[in-house]
Structure 1
Amino acid sequence: MPSTDRRRLPAAERRAQIAGAARAVALRDGLAAVTLRGVAAEAAVAPALVAHYSPSMEALVAETFAGIVAAELDEVRYLAGGDAPDALDALLRTLLGGGREDVTAVWVEAWALGRRNAELAAAVRDQMDAWHVALVELLARGAADGSLTVADPDAVAWHVLGMIDGLNAQALVRWRQDDARVALAARAVEAMVGLPRGAVAAPERATVDAGETP
């Protein structure tokens, strides 16, 4: 059994240590594993110390979820700079291109656990709304400059997010390969926003984006 960390840390550092341990547990083992003992073992501290700094495990689970998915949104916002078609390309490749199964599992589990954890449910709603706002802004930008044809950015944003969520959830049991998921979503998104086929996530576009000669 690992030894317990008995160092006296400032309160802010201890809270950050516990939050980091909860995040590691969630990404590796799922949100359901974010328990008093699970987090304590990960942080190498006594369970009583976790309880002292996180008296509500429901709140810690909600905070852990929010931190994980908010970081992903920040990353996507950074990658989705430039014009709207390029931003859509970056969005689909980043979210559907594989390598994010741990974050997808956190989302899927949060939807289920949120039925019995009101704080987690509120965090899920907040993060879904944040993703929706970010995509509406992208679509509205494209509609304003004429690069996209979108009559109702609000509705299209929910359709796109629902499709991404569904395809990623199915991918947890390997329903489709990564490239097939990206292509499937890209063709649907092109139809929704008035782009020609191949404008988003085409193989030749990926070559150009990577700085190689097509």
Structure 2
Amino acid sequence: MPRPRTRKAPAERAAEIVAAATAVARDQGLSALTLRAVAERAGITSGLVAHYQPSMDDLVARVYTDLVEEEVRDVERVVAAATDAPARLGSLIDTLMDGARDELTVVWVEGWAMARRSDALAAAVRTQMQRWQALVEGIVDEGCRAGVFSTTEPGEVAWQLIGMIDGLNAQSLARGADTTRFARRTARAAEALVGARPGTIPVSA
């Protein structure tokens, strides 16, 4: 017996489709976002998805942005709870390398690759990378003002730290390795980059 169709308000249906797409991406990655996959997750037809989301590129960019913004807000809360710049940087390293964010590492890695073929996704990736850079640069700036860091290039150092953490997470994901064991080495490298005394950036690993 066919399922009875439920007519929903346009805004409700559109939100339902975005939520379904976000769930697919979280579980399987951005590359799994197809009309069929989203329709199956939402329990509707592919045609209805296409009606509310005529551009899959725009939907992928929206889902990517929503997932990464959620991660950024979560990390900002963790970092804000630390007492000073070295502790904030240590908290950042701990939370990004604790292995609990592998599904988001997949989203980042696929986002970088897929952005080459999608202007909408490329713009979203650049925006979110700038947000991460601003977060890390703010911590480094704080440490410089407090006299515990001594770099004269906090912006460039922030990019380098992000690249180091992202690279280790991506490699660990591909190798099936535990990223946590790199946290202490990353903290020691971060101390050299920001110009901090050895052993002053604490990590739990």
TM-score where L is the length of structure 1: 0.88
Tell me the C-alpha RMSD between the 2 structures: 1.7
Q: 1:20 aligned to 2:40?
A: no
Is the contact made by 2:169 and 2:179 (CA closer than 8 Å) also made in structure 1? no
Distance 2:101 2:116 in 1: 24
2:66 aligned residue: 67
1:143 aligns with 2:144: yes
Letter of the structure 1 residue corresponding to residue 178 of structure 2: Q
Q: What residue in structure 2 maps to residue 39 of structure 1?
A: 38
Query: Which residue number in structure 1 is paired with residue 192 of structure 2?
Result: 191
Task: Assess if the C-alpha contact under 8 Å between 1:5 and 1:44 holds in 2.
Answer: no
**What is aligned with 1:99?**
100
- Indicate conservation of the 8 Å contact 1:186/1:200, yes or no: yes
Look up the match of 2:51: 52
Query: In structure 2, what is the equivalent of residue 180 of structure 1?
Result: 181
Distance change in 2, residues 1:193/1:175 (3 Å) = farther
Q: Which residue of 2 aligns with 1:161?
A: 162
Unmatched tracts of structure 1, length 5 or more: 207-214
1:49 to partner: Cα distance: 1.4
Return 5+ residue gaps in structure 2 as ranges: none
- Overall identity of the aligned pairs, in %: 44
User: Aligned partners of 1:4, 1:92: CA distance in 2, in Å?
Assistant: 49
The one-letter amino acid paired with 2:111 is A
The 2-side partners of 1:12 and 1:175 are apart by 41
Size of the aligned set, in residue pairs, is 202
Structure 1 contact 113–120 (Cα < 8 Å) conserved: yes
Give the SS at the match of 2:113.
helix
Query: Which structure ranks higher in relative contact order (CA pairs < 8 Å, sequence separation ≥ 6)?
Result: 2
Residue deviations 1:64-106 (CA, integer Å, cap 9, x gap): 1111111111111111013111110110001011111110011
TM-score normalised according to structure 2 size: 0.92
Q: Distance in 2 between matches of 1:4 and 1:105?
A: 35
State the AA in 2 paired with 1:104.
T
Larger displacement relative to structure 2 (166-175 or 118-127): 166-175
Give the secondary-structure state (helix, strand or coil) at the position aligned to 1:80.
helix
The residue aligned with 1:78 is: 77
Q: Distance in 1 between matches of 2:153 and 2:90?
A: 20
Q: Distance in 1 between matches of 2:124 and 2:173?
A: 22
For residue 78 of structure 1, give the secondary structure of its aligned residue in structure 2.
helix
* Bigger mean CA offset, 7-16 vs 97-106: 7-16
How far apart are 1:173 and its partner, in Å? 2.2
Q: Secondary structure of the residue that 2:174 maps to in structure 1?
A: coil
